Amino acid sequence: MPKILALHELTTEHKNMIQAAAPGFELITSKIGELAPGMVREAEILLGWSSKVEGEAVAPDSHTKWVQVWSAGVDKLPLDAFRQKGIRLTNASGVHSIPITEHIFAMILGFVRNLHHAVRQQTNRHWDTAGTFTELAGKTIVIVGVGQIGRQTAQVAKAFGMRTIGVRNSGEPSPHIDVMYKVDELTKALSEGDYIVNILPLTPLTTHIFDRDKFAAMKDSAFFVNVGRGQSVVTDAMVEALQAGKLAGAGLDVFEKEPLPQDHPLWSMDNVIITPHKAGDTDQYAERVIDIFLDNLKAYTQSRPLHRNVIDYDKSY
């Protein structure tokens, strides 16, 4: 009997739903540290991923045909080995649309309403009415990477009365985006933004895409939010822009090096909001991943193509 190996905790309801969708499969659940030898190698489907299972999953005699990861990003997975082995890969894209969008606006609104300073003053029990306060209505947001999260972000931005600019590879229009640019027009798009939001996946083309030239193209009054990948930003260039007043502020959830070193200058900047790579966290996470997995599992067991969140190895996303 073919096996599905789940590397994450599943509720009884989740297990029952998986078994109902794939009655001809044996479902096995195991923590990474408790895997028996050969368990990964024998599984046809992996629900979850860890670098610790890579050796068995891509071994010549491995039965693995499909991996459903628990994350949206796949840049840390052995994509070339998967391609050579013929393993299909699906991710959790779409799971994060609501929490990351809300996180983006938590950072932007914190900056707009000076909440990051207020929290620091509260810690010091200091009543301080200084600071600049503004509004989002009428401002322009540039969303770099208009996928599911970008579309959700644009929709919320419209509710605030903002003008929306999008950047995506295809340049194709998207709902709630007023103007769409291609990636090779990024510099022009950045020059128009009051708020710049990076949601790009990490690929060879997006690594260090936000360099000195890109930060120089932004308005001195712009606020930069990164919830994409830390490696898409040249950190030193961003720090220089912040220190020189060429960038008004930043909301950062991801970094080139994580955890962010304790002696890094970003920690002490009062125009920077830092969160520890938690923008996508939500108590609804597992439910949404399982929903994606079940849709594809039903197709898989009927020998139909997977249709949700299939990774294109040529694009690395």
- CATH number, residue 68: 3.40.50.720
What does the pLDDT read at residue 149? 96
What six digits make up the tokens of 257?
Answer: 């090096």
Assess whether 26 carries a catalytic annotation: no
Mean pLDDT of 16-34: 97
**What are the pLDDT digits (tens) for 272-293?**
999 999 999 999 999 999 999 9
75 pLDDT tier (thresholds 50, 70, 90): very high
Task: Give one DSSP letter per residue of 221-237, joined into a string.
Answer: T-EEEE-S-GGGB-HHH
Strands 88-90 and 140-144, sheet pairing: unpaired
Q: Which domain holds residue 209?
A: 97-274
193 pLDDT tier (thresholds 50, 70, 90): very high
Mean pLDDT of 193-215: 97
Examine the domain organization and report whether 167 and 213 are in the same domain.
yes
Q: How far is CA 251 from CA 15, 38, 255, in A?
A: 38, 44, 11
Examine the domain organization and report whether 296 and 255 are in the same domain.
no
| Phi, then psi, of 98 in degrees rounded to 5 | -75, -55
Query: Of the listed 258, 287, 304, 307, which one is catalytic?
Result: 258
**What are the pLDDT digits (tens) for 141-192?**
999 999 999 999 999 999 999 999 999 999 999 999 999 999 999 999 999 9
Task: Quote the percentage of the chain above a pLDDT of 90.
Answer: 99
Examine the domain organization and report whether 269 and 138 are in the same domain.
yes
Domain count, the chain: 2
What does the pLDDT read at residue 246? 98
Examine the domain organization and report whether 36 and 69 are in the same domain.
yes
317 within some domain: no
Mean pLDDT of 3-7: 98
Which residues are CB-contacts of 287 (< 8 A; sequence separation ≥ 6)? none
Query: Of the listed 14, 41, 88, 229, which one is catalytic?
Result: 229
Query: Of the listed 8, 277, 288, 308, which one is catalytic?
Result: 277
Assess whether 277 carries a catalytic annotation: yes
